[in-house]
């Protein structure tokens, strides 16, 4: 064999051996970084803490039995599963493919085009999951706790039961916040807030942060604005304490991630003819045509979340900025 050819084979053999040495070994553990979400079985980074349903301390919406009580305490009237198959926009052949062979990412990207934002009126993600999963037999893809921790309870390929007509094409998130109330009827909300000696309003948990499942007990648990915000949703005057700064930061990064992974999900909110935020429910034709981020009240006439305190421009402008850096 010519010397040059032998040298070339030697280089290739060395490269192959080096690659084999770096290759994963059977049984080797692959560590998550802790910021990933799951989309059709694939992991995508968000750059903010995410606890999956498979992680210790996670919330598993695939679970049939109640999360917080013994299996024999299961309510007989609750469904065995709390989610369904996404069917929006699928042909019969595609639906059969999904039901028999599962989702691939391109097909899911064609179907998902909405991100619905809720407040949970529960105060913490732990309480939210208890109400949704154990008590009501419902589900949501994400929960956002007061400390900014995101919990994913289902793969985004599933149709979570969170927003009626939006379920088949949307992703949903429940944000830990006690919600919006008419002036003078805020007793339920006010039990969750108190002022310290310096006049700073903080969230008053019913017990220690650890007992409430707070992932980061050292986080500042305080609304981003110190006073309740008054505004109107569908003409009704409501008062609400804002989200925490940690919640806005996490939600901004998650929104940027979702709008990147799902090209049809536009990073914007429903606007009126002058370009301002819509404060009413979309008509059915408007809803059918809409692709982007929206509140629960944009979907249903009996809802007011995420409420008048929610800072839509802070979210959308921040998410767009995150996307432009990619």
DSSP 90-144: --HHHHHHHHHH---HHHHHHH--EEEEEE-SSSSHHHHHIIIIIII----SEEE
To 10 degrees, the CA torsion angle through 255, 256, 258, 261? Answer: 180
Radius of gyration of the chain measured on its C-alpha atoms: 23
> Could you give the CA distance from residue 310 to residue 24 in angstroms, rounded to a whole number?
46
Tell me the pLDDT of the chain averaged across its residues.
Answer: 92
Angle between helices 245-261 and 312-324 (to 10 degrees): 50
- Per-residue pLDDT tens digits for 147-161: 999 999 999 999 999
For residue 185, the model assigns a pLDDT of: 95
Average pLDDT over residues 21-49: 91
For residue 75, the model assigns a pLDDT of: 63
For residue 3, the model assigns a pLDDT of: 61
pLDDT classification of 225: cutoffs 50, 70, 90: very high
- Per-residue pLDDT tens digits for 232-253: 999 999 999 999 999 999 999 9
Would you say 260 and 321 are in contact if contact means Cβ atoms under 8 Å apart?
no
| DSSP reduced 3-state for 12 | helix
How many Cβ atoms sit within 10 Å of the Cβ of residue 322?
A: 20
| Token pair listed for 287 | 């809803």
- Per-residue pLDDT tens digits for 72-97: 555 666 777 889 999 888 999 999 98
pLDDT classification of 7: cutoffs 50, 70, 90: low
Would you say 277 and 312 are in contact if contact means Cβ atoms under 8 Å apart?
yes
Cβ contacts of 312 within 8 Å, gap of 6 or more: 269, 277
45 forms beta bridges with: 36
> Could you give the CA distance from residue 13 to residue 175 in angstroms, rounded to a whole number?
55
- Per-residue pLDDT tens digits for 92-120: 999 998 988 899 999 999 999 999 999 99
Going by the DSSP 8-state scheme, the letter that residue 236 receives in this structure is: E
Long-range (24+ apart) CB contacts under 8 A made by 102-110 are 102/40, 102/41, 102/157, 103/40, 103/157, 104/40, 105/39, 105/40, 105/42, 108/39, 108/40, 108/156, 108/157, 108/262, 109/261, 109/262, 109/263, 109/264, 110/264
| Token pair listed for 171 | 């992703």
For residue 66, the model assigns a pLDDT of: 86
| CA-based end-to-end distance of the chain | 50
């Amino acid at each position: 064999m010519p010397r040059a050819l032998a040298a070339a084979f030697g280089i290739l053999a060395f490269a192959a051996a080096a690659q084999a040495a770096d290759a994963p070994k059977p049984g080797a553990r692959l560590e998550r970084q802790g910021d990933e979400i799951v989309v059709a079985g694939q992991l995508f980074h968000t750059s903010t803490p995410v606890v999956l349903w498979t992680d210790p301390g996670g919330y598993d919406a695939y679970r049939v039995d109640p999360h917080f009580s013994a299996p024999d305490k299961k309510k007989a009237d609750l469904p065995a599963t709390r989610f369904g198959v996404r069917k929006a926009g699928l042909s019969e052949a595609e639906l059969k493919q999904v039901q028999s062979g599962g989702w691939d990412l391109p097909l899911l990207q064609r179907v998902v085009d909405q991100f619905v934002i809720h407040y949970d009126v529960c105060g913490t993600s732990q309480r939210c999951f208890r109400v949704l999963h154990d008590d009501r037999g419902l589900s949501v893809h994400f929960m956002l706790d007061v400390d900014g921790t995101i919990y994913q309870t289902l793969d985004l390929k599933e149709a979570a039961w969170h927003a009626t007509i939006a379920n088949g094409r949307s992703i949903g998130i429940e944000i830990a916040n006690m919600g919006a109330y008419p002036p003078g009827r805020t007793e339920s909300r006010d039990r969750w807030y108190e002022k310290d000696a310096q006049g700073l309003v903080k969230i008053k948990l019913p017990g220690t942060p650890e007992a409430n499942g707070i992932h980061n007990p050292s986080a500042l648990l305080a609304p981003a604005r110190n006073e309740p915000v008054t505004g109107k949703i569908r003409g009704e005057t409501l008062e609400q304490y804002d989200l925490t700064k940690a919640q806005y930061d996490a939600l901004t990064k998650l929104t940027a991630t979702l709008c990147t992974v799902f090209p049809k999900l536009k990073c914007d909110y429903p606007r009126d003819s002058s370009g301002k935020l819509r404060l009413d429910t979309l008509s059915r034709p408007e809803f059918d045509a809409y692709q982007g981020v929206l509140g629960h009240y944009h979907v249903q006439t009996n809802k007011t979340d995420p409420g008048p305190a929610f800072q839509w421009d802070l979210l959308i402008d921040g998410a767009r900025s995150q996307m432009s850096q990619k």
